[in-house]
Chain A
Amino acid sequence: MGVRSKIWTKSLGMMAVSSTLALSAGAGWAADLTVWCWDPNFNGSTMEKAFAIYQASHPEDTLTIEYFDKTALEQKMQTQLAAGVTDGLPDIVLVGDEMAQKFLLAFPGAFEPLTDELDYAAMAPNKVAVATVDGETYSMPFDSGVTGYFYRSDILGEAGYTAADLEDITWDRLIEIGQDVLQKTGKQLLPIDTNDAGPLLMMMQSAGGWYFDAEGNPTIKDNAALRATLETYARLVNSGIVKPVNGWPEYTGSFTSGETLSTYIGVWITGTIKANADQAGKWAVAPIPRLDGVPGAVNASNLGGSSWYVFADAPNKDDAIDFLKTVWGADIDFYQQILVENGAVGSLMTARDGEAYQAVDDFFGGQPVWQNFSTWLSEIPPINFGIYTQEANAALVGQLPALLAGGDVDEIIDAIDAQVQAQIQ
């Protein structure tokens, strides 16, 4: 049946597509849903589980997942959208939240708005914000990039610091703690990749700031959050408690080997930390520190995260939307399952009342980590990523050596602004 509907689609064009879909809704035609995503152990696995639930009521339907590396997927999709060829695109695609605005605005009409299909009031506000353009929201929000401060509770404990000491602190307090811990243990607190914008973006968003305003215009000058971020970052990295690293393996290797004692990053790092079973019970998670002196600064932020999108020309568009709606948009038990089995913190806020979210985690010393993450998730200041985040990141990273060498923050802000203004013309 799937083959037949494909032949229809190809031979009769758009008219045939709509009539096939009309039939599929009414007469229970089988759909072979195709999905593109990038992690078979994470997002792919959750997608399979979601579909297994859906299949109970739609036994005819099937699911095919094609895996690509994340950057490869983005590049492939962009090439194809730019070529204007919809043939061969999947029904559903996973898009990184930081890329969403760019895709939505660069290729208008490529993705299907889901505003009327899903209850966005029930989803994390920051996730909805990144997928909204001109009042239409396009995504089924998936995993959150809610941040946490992951630390070695055993070693920090020996140095005299308890969980309460790390609760709701500022970055400057963390620097003090770090210097004390360095003196007592000889170990540095944080690995930071000084060629990466991520560590700064988390700071900036925690104060509700970004490079752009709600209309997408650059607000790099006169931006309290950005200025505080640059100043704090320079203090942090130059305080002696940071080990500069380069690239992902060295970064993750640093805190999983015990060379450094903590890191602040999105919740999706949990899998990497837990892969070291011998360190069970030696880790804990606190909220990330907040920026001092910026109005609206909180101890919660976001890095990464992704959402499902449906292509406007998807061969099985209606089935895809129905599937996302029934399982991803409503099934609270499903979210408990993927939390336990995949460590995936979804964006459906009602799911946090479920059993799994309430449970404690022995790896993290019996903390109710998931409950904590969902609390922080609801506190993340929503921002408009805008479409030029990558350009701004490039400009920011280019200025980091100057910043860390003690350069004047005003000049650095001017330089970032000048480069962003030049790039977005």
Chain B
Amino acid sequence: MASGVARREGIAGWGFVMPALVLLGVFMIYPILSSLWMSFQVGKGMNLQFGGFRNIARLAGDAVFLKALANTLLFLVIQVPIMLVTGLVLAAILNDQTFRGRTVYRAMIFLPCVTSLAAYSVVFKAMFTADGVINHVLMALHLSDTGVPWMTDPFWARVLVIIAITWRWTGYNMVFYLAAMQNIDRSIYEAARIDGVPVWARFSRLTLPMMKPVILFTTVISTIGTLQLFDEPNLLTRGGPSDATLTLSMYIYKLSFQFMPSFGYAATVSYVIVLLVGLLTVVQFFFARDRLK
């Protein structure tokens, strides 16, 4: 009976997902409800009271929040595509069995995301300081006369943060792409190669469509990661100059831990991120699904 099969499928389906759902239920539901409730509380420290929509109203008039929101979206729009395309190109090259030195290259490119933040922030700051090695090179190549004000100019500070995130996370995304490429049946390639399909066409018509689920995955997690961006601006530019690199997550951190704590308002800003992710994820899933047809 079809319905019997369906029911057995249903039971098996729940069986597979149940351990995860139970754990998430135990460890996430209460904190989420609690933080949602918190987002309606106003006041400082432990002197909290129910404030209805006052935190949401406060968002609209909070110049610092609006700046952090704009910065975060800017990082998202510019950085995520650069990183994912670079990661994909690297994965495609390093998946080529004839490419010499690929094992070592893969490890080298993966290295940034395991390098400790402490070392990485010290090095990046030293490299990009006013008379650091990067400016010396730029000046030697006559690309810049006086050196680029990486840390002190709002525009260049944003560029620096984008360079830094791309540096750290490109290899990470590459790992997902490499793993996905391994799941593609190589005999299809062979056939295409013998039929004289050029390399680029093989990549765009065979590889990319097969990798769409993983590309969607990296897009979604990179979107979430960038909307929650904290480490790079915190360590490299401390959100400055003039809050040019302040992100929503840094603002949440300041509101919760650096400033006189406004746990309620910080929770409200957190849910702005959730809302953004929700909207963007729907859009991304929509595009991914649309092209499948």
A–B contact with Cβ pairs below 8 Å: the answer is: yes
| A contact set with B: CB distance below 8 Å | 74-75, 78, 81-82, 84, 102, 105-108, 194-195, 244-247, 249-250, 387-388, 390-391, 394, 397-402, 419, 422-425
| Cα–Cα distance between A5 and B48 once the two chains are bound (Å) | 35
| B contact set with A: CB distance below 8 Å | 44-46, 58, 61-64, 121-122, 125-126, 129-130, 151-152, 154, 237-238, 240-243, 254, 256-261, 263
Contacts of B62 in A (CB 8 A): 422
Query: How far, in Å, is A187 (CB) from chain B's closest CB?
Result: 14
* Inter-subunit contact A102/B260 (CB<8 Å): yes
The contact of B126 among A194, A250, A391, by CB within 8 Å, is A250
* Inter-subunit contact A106/B122 (CB<8 Å): no
* Inter-subunit contact A245/B46 (CB<8 Å): no
* Given contacts A246-B151, A391-B260, A106 and B45 within 8 Å (CB-CB): yes
* Inter-subunit contact A244/B259 (CB<8 Å): no
The contact of A195 among B151, B258, B263, by CB within 8 Å, is B151
| Cα–Cα distance between A78 and B266 once the two chains are bound (Å) | 14
* Inter-subunit contact A244/B243 (CB<8 Å): no
| Cα–Cα distance between A399 and B238 once the two chains are bound (Å) | 14
The contact of B45 among A105, A194, A398, A401, by CB within 8 Å, is A105
* Inter-subunit contact A249/B125 (CB<8 Å): yes
5 CB < 8 A contacts A-B: A82-B263, A106-B45, A247-B121, A247-B122, A400-B241
* Inter-subunit contact A422/B61 (CB<8 Å): yes
| Cα–Cα distance between A244 and B149 once the two chains are bound (Å) | 11
Contacts of A250 in B (CB 8 A): 125-126, 129
**Chain A binding surface, main DSSP class:** helix
The contact of A82 among B46, B242, B260, by CB within 8 Å, is B46
| Cα–Cα distance between A107 and B152 once the two chains are bound (Å) | 37
| Cα–Cα distance between A394 and B126 once the two chains are bound (Å) | 24
| Cα–Cα distance between A244 and B150 once the two chains are bound (Å) | 12
Contacts of A81 in B (CB 8 A): 46
| Cα–Cα distance between A82 and B44 once the two chains are bound (Å) | 11
Closest to A76 in B: B257
The contact of B46 among A107, A195, A398, A399, by CB within 8 Å, is A107
Closest to B261 in A: A106
Closest to B153 in A: A401
Contacts of A244 in B (CB 8 A): 130, 152
* Inter-subunit contact A108/B46 (CB<8 Å): yes
Contacts of B237 in A (CB 8 A): 195, 246
Contacts of A249 in B (CB 8 A): 122, 125-126
Contacts of A391 in B (CB 8 A): 259-260
Closest to B149 in A: A244
| Cα–Cα distance between A184 and B129 once the two chains are bound (Å) | 26
| Cα–Cα distance between A165 and B4 once the two chains are bound (Å) | 96
The contact of B260 among A106, A401, A402, by CB within 8 Å, is A106
* Inter-subunit contact B152/A399 (CB<8 Å): no
| Cα–Cα distance between A247 and B152 once the two chains are bound (Å) | 12
| Cα–Cα distance between A423 and B44 once the two chains are bound (Å) | 11
* Inter-subunit contact B241/A401 (CB<8 Å): yes
